[in-house]
Amino acid sequence: MPRKSDEERLQELEKQIEQMKARKQQVASRIQQKERKERTRRLIQVGAIFEKYFDIVGEDQAEKVAYGMKEAVQKHKDKLLNIDVEASKKANKLIYEVQEERLIMPEGEKTSYQP
C-alpha cells in the first residue's frame, strides 16, 4: 500500500475539519433548541400563574396589571420571594418562610451553660 502524499493527508484533514464543524453545529443547534423549549415552558407556566391569580383575559389586560404592579413588586421583591405559598394557600393569608433565628444574649447576662 503506497504512502499518502502530503496533499492527500491535507485533503483528509480538511475533510475531517469540515465534519467536526458540522457536528459542532449540530450540537450547538440542539443546545439552542433545548434552551428555547425551556424558556417557552417557563413563559407558559408564569403566564398561567399570572392568569390564575389575577383573572386576566388577554395580553392587553396582563400588561396593564403587570405595569401597574411593577413598582410595588420591585420595592418588595425580597419580601415577596419569602412567601410560603403552600402554607399561605392553606391558611388563606400570607405566611412567610421562617428565617433562621438567631439567639442574642444581652450583654452582661450570664448563662448557666459552661463549655
Going residue by residue through the chain, which has 115 residues, state the pLDDT in tens, using 9 for 90 and above: 678 899 999 999 999 999 999 999 999 999 999 999 999 999 999 999 988 888 888 889 989 999 999 999 999 999 999 999 999 999 999 899 875 555 555 555 555 545 4
The answer to the question of residue 73 being in a domain is yes
Question: What's the pLDDT at 4?
Answer: 83
Q: How far apart are CA 115 and CA 112, in angstroms?
A: 10
Number of domains in the chain: 2
Nearest 5 degrees, angle CA 84-CA 41-CA 49? Answer: 40
pTM summary value: 0.60
Cβ contacts of 84 within 8 Å, gap of 6 or more: 95, 96, 97
| 33 shares a domain with 73 | no
Question: What's the pLDDT at 58?
Answer: 87
CB-based burial label for 28 (10 Å; 0-12, 13-18, 19+): exposed
Which three three-digit cell numbers place residue 87? 402554607
| 49 shares a domain with 16 | yes
State which residues form the domain around 12: 7-55
The answer to the question of residue 19 being in a domain is yes
Question: What's the pLDDT at 115?
Answer: 46
Using only C-alpha atoms, what is the Rg of the chain?
A: 30
| 70 shares a domain with 47 | no
Q: How far apart are CA 14 and CA 19, in angstroms?
A: 9
Question: What's the pLDDT at 100?
Answer: 52
* CB distance 66 to 50 below 8 Å: yes
Which amino acid, one-letter code, is at 50? F
The answer to the question of residue 62 being in a domain is yes
| 38 shares a domain with 65 | no
